[in-house]
Structure 1
Amino acid sequence: MMGEQTNVQDALFYEFNLERHVPASHLLRSIDRFVDLSGLRAHLKPFYSELGRPSVDPELMIRMLLVGYCFGIRSERRLCEEVHLNLAYRWFCRLGLEGDVPDHSTFSKNRHGRFRDSGLLRELFETTVRRCIAERLVGGEGFAVDASLIRADAHRQNGVKAKEELDPSAKRAVAEYLAVLDDAAFGAATPVEPKFISPVDPAARWTASWGGPAVYAYCANYLIDVEHAVIVDVEPSTAVRQAEVTAAKRMIERSHDDHNLWPERLIADAGYGSAEMLAWLVHERGIEPHIPVFDKSERRDGTFERADFEYDRERDLYVCPGGRELRQRQRNFTNERPPPVDDIGMVRYRARKADCDACALKARCCPKAPARKILRSIHEGARDMARNIATTDAYVVSRRQRKKVEMLFAHLKRILRLDRLRLRGPNGAKDEFHLAAAAQNLRKLAKLIPMPEPMPV
């Protein structure tokens, strides 16, 4: 017989323990062990007035933001609804059953105000890094760096062609864009002007490098320790290669200054294989570059490439396939002169015209020029070191380990749903990337460090 619920009457008293209703296997239970907000109020104290009514607890807002970024809840309005209804979220946010959830507008006010002015979200991320180091999840021997495009909150069909058409008083993001025009990670990264500039988020770069239709986007730059794929540092930049290299340098320097981390090797793709970057790693930081060399000397017309010429390091000259010498200068000077270096750091080695005219290989060497010349970077020693490392077994291992940073970006976009920003401007991108990286590190801690066994009763 089919049953029917009748005489439903609310009880006068309930005995309800929220702690018992959150499963021991819930992700938030594991994450809660590593969320250290003990210094939060001291960090924010200078940004609050001593007068007036008490504000919403900043720890509550930070915990709610962590819930949102850990579970891919991008909308702050929806986040407030979920925290109001979900018992596990209430438990993590220390709200109990009757605690009031703040209004969604509170997040916007504090994000653009106290949290941003105080650098709180950066400090939150740094706290997760320090905890990972304390738990020995960071080996500090091998780092990997990469960048991934994150679409900005800007319509791809709306744009202006010059920054003079922007109104700096209209949007906060416009003022932030004008403030970073001289920043090497944004406006000063390249002299090439973008085809279009977004009127609502002009710092976002118009780009089609992701393989689809052109969009406005930022780059999320990650520096990770390859042992357990812990994010050691994160930096936003505009979506051009030069800005990504600048961001990588900043993250390496900051990880050393803040956490005393000095890796033995850096793993990256060919976008970081410029001569200047390799020289910076080798000579200034003492780091082995496990990076493919960015080299455009390859020829496709069948003539001899630079690799076909042998470099004599002792005499500082090249020897061509025909046995002739290419020198910086064909004359000998009594007083030694510095090498003729051009604006991009290249030294030219030239052959004698008479040698090339008499050579039987001229048609395969310089058929359209009177004599052959070879360009060599002043940082060629670092490039040669990277080429030699690329022939080792350790380099093969590094190529596999580089996939870990790509997996983190896949997790960022698919699981945490950060494939499009909600905040605008360089500061908005910075805030979102710091929160997302903090959430990924917390999830990593929860995954790798098991929950302690319950004490026997």
Structure 2
Amino acid sequence: MMGARTVMQEALFYSFSLEDHVPQSHLLRAVDHFVDLSGIREKLRPFYSETGRPSIDPELMIRMLLIGYCLGIRSERRLCEEVHLNLAYRWFCRLGLDGAVPDHSTFSKNRHGRFRDSDLLREVFEMTVTRCIEEGLVGGEGFAVDASLIKADANRQRGVPGEDGLPPNIVNHAAREYLEVLDEAAFGAASPATPKYLSPADPAARWTSAHGGQAFFAYSTNYLIDLENAVIVDVEATTAIRPAEVTAQRTMIDRTQERFGIWPQRLAADTGYGDAANIAWLVHERGIEPHIPIFDHARRRTGSFQRDEFRYDHQHDLYVCPGSKELLPRRRNFAALRGDVDQDGFIRYRASKHDCEACALKPQCCPGQPNRIVPRSIHEGARDLARDLAKTDAYLTSRRERKKVEMLFAHLKRILKLDRLRLRGPNGAKDEFLLAATAQNLRKLAKLIPMPAAPALA
């Protein structure tokens, strides 16, 4: 038979514990085990006034942001509503049942002030890296690096031609930040080329069509990960072009060594990081094995002899062709000394026109040219090492493991829902990328490190 209608009756007293109502299997319970924010109050103390009304607890705001990024809640307004209603979120934020949830505008005020001035979000991220190292999740032997495009909060239809510059009436924090980073290698100084379009809403975002579809304004998030468990050991925001991403790779490798004392033996990356100067930097200046495909402009597509069929004589600085003729960097002496290295960092070794015309192998060597020219980079020694490494089993392992960084980007966009930025300007991109990488490391810890057993009930 039908039961009686349920009628809510207000009790005079309640016996209620948040601890009992958060399941042991809840993600935030596992994440909470690895979050240590005990030091942030002292770090932020110099950024608060000694007078005035008490501020919102900074630890509460960081915990709320971690909830948002761990669980893909992209709106801070909605985050405040969810924390107000959800018991597990209240438990994680140490709010209790009657704790007041701060207004969403508080996050913006602190982000543009104390959080950025103190570099707090980077410290929170590095806290997760330190914890991963302590838990044995970071091997330190092999790293991988890559970048992924994240759409900026900028309407592609509102762009203005890059050669015209920004309209003079544009005054916002994103425009001010754009002017501040014009000389930084990760942004304005990454390329001398003028962007095709600029966004008045976020001028530092780069107009790009790298995905092959419609062009859009974007930033690049750069990850340096440890290959053992795909822990993110560093993250950097840059403009969305390859030279800036290569610069970010160097910054992250050096910063990881400085902050954590980790120096990898090998680095896996895609062909975009395989230019000669970067390979030489890894090999000669940092002593890291580049498990990176070489970006080789000298490959010929006509079926004629490839460059590796010419033997290089180190002692006499010349190449010997398959027909046993010499290719020299210069064929005659000039009254004024000329450099052999061109603006791209290559020395061009030329065969004698007379030798080539009389050679029976000319149709297989240089059928459309009077003589054969072989370019050699000034960093060719490092490139040769990279080519030799490409023949090893360790290289094949690195190429397979490198896909872990791409899986992290897929997780970032599909699970954490960071396929489009919510904040504007270079600092906004940095904040979002740091918090997202922090969330991914915390989720990694929660997944791989077992929770301590719950105390038995008496």
TM range (shorter): over 0.9
* Deviation for aligned residue 1:360: 2.0
Post-superposition, which runs of at least 4 consecutive aligned residues in structure 1 deviate over 4 A?
A: none
SS of the residue corresponding to residue 165 of structure 1 reads coil
* Deviation for aligned residue 1:339: 6.6
SS of the residue corresponding to residue 286 of structure 1 reads coil
Q: Could you tell me how far apart the structure 1 residues matched to 2:374 and 2:403 are?
A: 36
Inter-CA distance 7–138: structure 2 relative to 1 (3 Å threshold): closer
* Deviation for aligned residue 1:390: 0.7
SS of the residue corresponding to residue 363 of structure 2 reads helix
Q: Could you tell me how far apart the structure 1 residues matched to 2:267 and 2:19 are?
A: 45
SS of the residue corresponding to residue 340 of structure 2 reads coil
SS of the residue corresponding to residue 193 of structure 1 reads coil
Who is 2:212 aligned against? Answer: 211
Q: Could you tell me how far apart the structure 2 residues matched to 1:369 and 1:23 are?
A: 75
SS of the residue corresponding to residue 223 of structure 1 reads strand
Letter in 2 for 1:174: A
Q: How does 1:408-419 map to 2 (within 5 A)?
A: 408-419=408-419
Q: How does 1:369-388 map to 2 (within 5 A)?
A: 369-388=369-388
Who is 2:152 aligned against? Answer: 152
* Deviation for aligned residue 1:6: 5.0
* Deviation for aligned residue 1:315: 2.8
- Contact map agreement 1:169 1:175 (CA 8 A) in 2: no
Letter in 2 for 1:224: I
* Deviation for aligned residue 1:42: 1.0
Who is 2:140 aligned against? Answer: 140
Who is 1:424 aligned against? Answer: 424
- Contact map agreement 1:328 1:339 (CA 8 A) in 2: no
Q: Could you tell me how far apart the structure 2 residues matched to 1:7 and 1:382 are?
A: 78
Q: Could you tell me how far apart the structure 1 residues matched to 2:347 and 2:125 are?
A: 44
Inter-CA distance 2–137: structure 2 relative to 1 (3 Å threshold): same
Who is 1:193 aligned against? Answer: 194
Letter in 1 for 2:451: M
2:102 is the counterpart of 1:102: yes
Give the TM-score normalised by structure 1.
0.96
Who is 1:300 aligned against? Answer: 301
Who is 2:330 aligned against? Answer: 329
Counting aligned pairs with the same residue, the percent is 70
SS of the residue corresponding to residue 102 of structure 2 reads coil
* Deviation for aligned residue 1:304: 2.7
Letter in 1 for 2:238: S
**Which whole-Å deviations, capped at 9, do the CAs of 1:31-51 have from their partners, x for residues lacking one?**
111111111011111111001
* Deviation for aligned residue 1:215: 0.6
* Deviation for aligned residue 1:7: 5.2
SS of the residue corresponding to residue 399 of structure 1 reads helix
Q: How does 1:39-438 map to 2 (within 5 A)?
A: 39-162=39-162, 164-167=165-168, 170-330=171-331, 340-438=340-438
Q: Could you tell me how far apart the structure 2 residues matched to 1:7 and 1:151 are?
A: 50
SS of the residue corresponding to residue 218 of structure 1 reads strand
Q: Could you tell me how far apart the structure 2 residues matched to 1:166 and 1:348 are?
A: 46
Root mean square deviation of aligned Cα? 1.6
Q: Could you tell me how far apart the structure 1 residues matched to 2:434 and 2:288 are?
A: 26
SS of the residue corresponding to residue 55 of structure 1 reads coil
**Which whole-Å deviations, capped at 9, do the CAs of 1:123-179 have from their partners, x for residues lacking one?**
110111111111111110000000000000001111111363334761111111111
Inter-CA distance 398–168: structure 2 relative to 1 (3 Å threshold): farther
* Deviation for aligned residue 1:313: 2.7
- Pick which of 302-311 and 173-182 moved more: 302-311
Letter in 2 for 1:275: A
Letter in 1 for 2:312: Y
Letter in 1 for 2:197: F
**Which whole-Å deviations, capped at 9, do the CAs of 1:40-98 have from their partners, x for residues lacking one?**
01111111100100011111000000000000000000000000000000000000000
Q: Could you tell me how far apart the structure 1 residues matched to 2:170 and 2:373 are?
A: 54
Q: Could you tell me how far apart the structure 2 residues matched to 1:180 and 1:409 are?
A: 25
Letter in 2 for 1:146: D
Q: Could you tell me how far apart the structure 2 residues matched to 1:154 and 1:71 are?
A: 24
2:17 is the counterpart of 1:17: yes
Unaligned runs of 5+ in 1: none
Give the TM-score normalised by structure 2.
0.96
Letter in 2 for 1:453: A
Q: Could you tell me how far apart the structure 2 residues matched to 1:6 and 1:172 are?
A: 55
**Which whole-Å deviations, capped at 9, do the CAs of 1:331-362 have from their partners, x for residues lacking one?**
599xxx99721222111111112211211222
Q: Could you tell me how far apart the structure 2 residues matched to 1:399 and 1:387 are?
A: 14
Letter in 1 for 2:109: K
Q: Could you tell me how far apart the structure 1 residues matched to 2:91 and 2:109 are?
A: 25
- Contact map agreement 2:275 2:295 (CA 8 A) in 1: yes
- Pick which of 433-442 and 160-169 moved more: 160-169
Letter in 1 for 2:216: V
* Deviation for aligned residue 1:225: 0.3
Letter in 2 for 1:262: W
- Pick which of 277-286 and 352-361 moved more: 352-361
Inter-CA distance 221–318: structure 2 relative to 1 (3 Å threshold): same
Letter in 2 for 1:237: T
- Contact map agreement 1:168 1:174 (CA 8 A) in 2: no
**Which whole-Å deviations, capped at 9, do the CAs of 1:284-313 have from their partners, x for residues lacking one?**
000000000001212223333322322223
SS of the residue corresponding to residue 451 of structure 2 reads coil
Who is 2:32 aligned against? Answer: 32
Q: Could you tell me how far apart the structure 1 residues matched to 2:100 and 2:392 are?
A: 60
SS of the residue corresponding to residue 188 of structure 1 reads helix
Inter-CA distance 167–422: structure 2 relative to 1 (3 Å threshold): farther
Unaligned runs of 5+ in 2: none
Q: Could you tell me how far apart the structure 1 residues matched to 2:447 and 2:112 are?
A: 32
- Contact map agreement 2:166 2:198 (CA 8 A) in 1: no
